[in-house]
Structure 1
Amino acid sequence: MNVEKIIRNNPVGIPEPVGKYTHITKIPRNAELYVTSGQIGIDKNGLIPDDMNEQIGNTFENIQKVLQSDNLSPDNIIKVNIWATENIDWQYFDSKWEKLFGTNYPAMTIGYIVKLGLPEIKIEIEIWAAKI
């Protein structure tokens, strides 16, 4: 019996990832695709804290809530796009990243940009997921 699953791979012959991501993710045919709007660091009261790490923590909480709303888990995540307007504290970010993914990393892109949709937003994370 052939069980379809999401496959993550770092191909031989190219440099290892420089971060906690996978170079390529293969999604089986007929999988349902989910794309989120960018999740930001807004808290449950509708406030966006000034501190970048607080925004990162809130963003990861919001990602988990969005996933749960459609019965998705971090294993369903196939691609993550991260946009930030200031330097990311990678030690803090990675602690949240590893709590969400363990070591089953999705494909990822990170970009530093001048600004996001509102002046107080410092980080926005977009998720692509697939369910088989």
Structure 2
Amino acid sequence: MVYEKIIRKNPTTMPAPVGHYTHITKIPRNAELFVTSGQIGADYDGNLPEQMNSQVKNTFTNIKTVLESEGLCNENIIKVNIWATEQIDWDFLYDEWEKLFSNEYPAMTIGYISELGLPEIKIEIEIWAAKV
């Protein structure tokens, strides 16, 4: 079977996702893959706000910017990896998430860790994308 677009599925034979993600994403053969470095909450001038939600907002801005630099959008995102050093305000993060994804959720992994590359970084998000 040949797929000409990215397919997102939640098999009915397993529990529904507990968040805004999809259990499995199928990428068509010969799709062009893109992997970002982990995006952090620094603003355009490199300043990193102290508050977690401000870092989340800036991180999503940076994700949109790096995707747009390659002509990519939310429909191209196939996998998101999130690392955080403190509790995520899920209502706030999901508000930003909805602005980016609408209802086309990618596969996702979240991990809480003790620290990231710099002590002031509270969240880092890596994006995998495919252009069909």
TM-score (norm 1): 0.98
Gap regions ≥5 residues in structure 2: none
Is contact 2:40-2:62 (8 Å) kept? yes
Q: Matches of 2:3 and 2:117 in 1, distance apart?
A: 41
Q: What RMSD in Å do the two structures reach over aligned CA positions?
A: 0.9
Q: Stretches of 4+ moved more than 4 A in 1? A: none
Residue 88 of structure 1 pairs with residue 88 of structure 2? yes
Q: State the Cα distance separating 1:44 from its structure 2 match.
A: 1.0
1:28 alignment partner, SS class: coil
- Corresponding pairs, count: 131
Aligned partner letter, 1:55: Q
Is contact 2:3-2:29 (8 Å) kept? no
Q: State the Cα distance separating 1:12 from its structure 2 match.
A: 1.4
Aligned partner letter, 2:92: Y
Q: Matches of 1:79 and 1:55 in 2, distance apart?
A: 20
Q: Matches of 2:103 and 2:3 in 1, distance apart?
A: 22
What aligned pairs does 1:6-21 form with structure 2 within 5 A after superposition?
A: 6-21=6-21
